[in-house]
Amino acid sequence: MSRVAVRYDTTQKDLVLPSSVPIGEFITDVIDALAEDADIESPRDGHWTLARMDGAIKPDQTLNDARVLDGAILELRSVASTERYRPVIEDVVDAVSEAAAQAARPFDAAAARRAGLAGLVAGGVALCAGQWALWWANGFSWIWMAVGLVGAAAALIGMTSATLRYRSPDASTAWAVVWVVAAAAIGQVVPVSQRTAVPGVAHLLISAVGMGIAALCALLITRRHLAAYSSVIAMAAAAALTCVVVEYTELAPSAIAAGAVLVGLIGLLQVPRTALGLARITLPPVLAPGQEDIEVGSGVDADELETLRLRAQRAVQLTSGLMVATVAVVSVAAAVVFDPSSYYVRQMIGIAVCVVLVLVIRGRTMPNQIQAYAMFSGAVAVIIGVAARALLAWPSGVAPIVVMAAVAAVTVGLSVIAIVVPGRSVNPRVSRWVQWLGNAALGVAFPLCFWVMGVYATLRDLSLG
């Protein structure tokens, strides 16, 4: 059973609903329970179901299938019927022809256009890489620096023209990718130190800032791909902040990585709230248990409803973009924090394990596929990164066998889960235990990060009085 709150109009009730029964089988009981305090009219075209903020739940789904946890707030909503009728095809040749036509994807004008734009992106990125190589090979010449800046300006002009003049979204997207990559050439403006004779952290800092500003300009010009651009901006900001910490502090790389894991995990918890704030969405107050009505406005007109719909879409896109960026930061930091030669190697392994557990457990509850895949990919990246560093540091003895066995066990476990779990409903008690495990891993990761950062050692060595 699941303890949830169901809301209809201005009425909300706390109900205990079956977790493993399709919603369509008990929705009438939910309607009867809410009808005691609210006037519920039968839908003219459609049927009743329960819905979350991200959309309605199918009537043939269970609460476990929809990943509805205890304490969730659901809405009783009327949805349109999706019943479809297929035409009867009696001729075998017609049936085969129709199936072949539906399965085939011809190389038409649209496909040729996409292929050309893909070539534009590949060629532009290759030219940017070649410009960096020539700038390095020619003694960091200002001529090749100027070539890079001119190329970035050309990409900006191409993106602007495709957006404002030719009204071609695909072309503007292709030019935007080249523009963001080419904007990294701004880092070549910083003079190279004669002492090191190679580019340093300052060049990475300026390049990261340049790419972040370029992504922001692309977002303002194209007004599309909010998730991708917000992810690039967030990762550029994280890279710039990391460069500042590396340049102006004497902290060890593992300590900096532990701090990045700490900040990233906190950011992972605050991504939805941050996205709602950036999208300028204010959630209504939640009804207290037993409260039947709250003071509301006179209603929402069509313009306000359209504005709210656009803001909701932006909030979802921002959540996906910021989630991808945060997971990328946490994953890279968790892999970098592992130093086999460090005194804190056990604590570092604990951080990696906690990060993997948090990403996997929270990823399975994500309603958005992009967010879930990002978390799963981040967990895999942490496992591969830590295993690779461990094998390079401990190439002989029992250590490589243990590392390979651990990676093999995780791979087999994930494969079994992927094959078995989707076809079965998860026991609510097991789901609750898994949720507690994720919260425990999150709570353990914080003190371990402080440990690796040397906070406890600093506090221990403080001289009071």
Q: What is the pLDDT of residue 245?
A: 94
* Token pair for 281: 């969405």
Give 227-231's long-range contacts (Cβ < 8 A, gap of 24+).
Answer: 227/317, 227/318, 227/320, 227/321, 227/324, 227/370, 228/321, 229/321, 230/317, 230/318, 230/321, 230/322, 230/325, 231/320, 231/321, 231/322, 231/324, 231/325, 231/328
Q: What is the average pLDDT across 13-38? A: 85
Q: What is the average pLDDT across 291-297? A: 55
From its phi and psi, is residue 49 left (phi > 0), alpha (psi between -120 and 50) or beta?
Answer: beta
What does the pLDDT look like over 127-147, one tens digit per residue?
999 999 999 999 899 999 999
Q: What is the pLDDT of residue 2?
A: 81
Rounded-to-integer distance, Cα 224 and Cα 230, Å: 11
Please compute, for residue 426, the number of CA atoms within 13 A of its CA located in the half-sphere on the CB side. 22
Assess contact for 138 and 144: CB atoms under 8 A: yes
Rounded-to-integer distance, Cα 384 and Cα 332, Å: 11
Q: What is the pLDDT of residue 404?
A: 93
Rounded-to-integer distance, Cα 414 and Cα 263, Å: 28
What does the pLDDT look like over 333-352, one tens digit per residue?
999 999 988 888 999 999 99
Beta bridge partners of 25: none
Instruction: Please provide the average confidence, as pLDDT, over all residues in the chain.
Output: 86
Beta bridge partners of 12: 7
Rounded-to-integer distance, Cα 155 and Cα 161, Å: 10
Domain positions in the chain: 2-79, 110-249, 334-465
What is the band of 465 on the pLDDT scale with cuts at 50, 70, 90?
very low
Assess contact for 128 and 148: CB atoms under 8 A: yes
Q: What is the pLDDT of residue 49?
A: 83
* Token pair for 105: 């994807």
Q: What is the pLDDT of residue 423?
A: 56
Rounded-to-integer distance, Cα 415 and Cα 411, Å: 6
Q: What is the pLDDT of residue 413?
A: 81
Q: What is the pLDDT of residue 289?
A: 63
Q: Choose between 242 and 100: higher pLDDT.
A: 242
**Residue 232 pLDDT more than 80?**
yes
Q: What is the average pLDDT across 88-103? A: 60
Record the pTM: 0.76
What is the helix (H) or strand (E) element at residue 152, kind and residue range?
helix 142-160
2-79: CATH topology = Ubiquitin-like (UB roll) (3.10.20)
Q: What is the pLDDT of residue 207?
A: 96
What is the band of 3 on the pLDDT scale with cuts at 50, 70, 90?
confident
Q: What is the pLDDT of residue 86?
A: 47
Q: What is the pLDDT of residue 84?
A: 44
In Å, what is the CA distance from 265 to each residue of 100, 273, 328, 334, 335?
49, 14, 11, 11, 14
- Indicate the DSSP class of residue 287: P
Q: What is the pLDDT of residue 107?
A: 75
Q: What is the pLDDT of residue 287?
A: 61
Q: What is the pLDDT of residue 378?
A: 94
What is the helix (H) or strand (E) element at residue 174, kind and residue range?
helix 169-182
**Residue 88 pLDDT more than 80?**
no
**Residue 383 pLDDT more than 80?**
yes
Beta bridge partners of 74: 6
Q: Choose between 289 and 45: higher pLDDT.
A: 289
- Residue 65: CB atoms within 10 Å: 17
Cβ contacts of 124 within 8 Å, gap of 6 or more: 155, 174, 177, 178, 181, 182
What is the band of 304 on the pLDDT scale with cuts at 50, 70, 90?
confident
**Residue 435 pLDDT more than 70?**
yes
What is the band of 83 on the pLDDT scale with cuts at 50, 70, 90?
very low
Q: What is the pLDDT of residue 320?
A: 93
Helices then strands (H, E): number in the chain? 14, 5
**Residue 427 pLDDT more than 50?**
yes
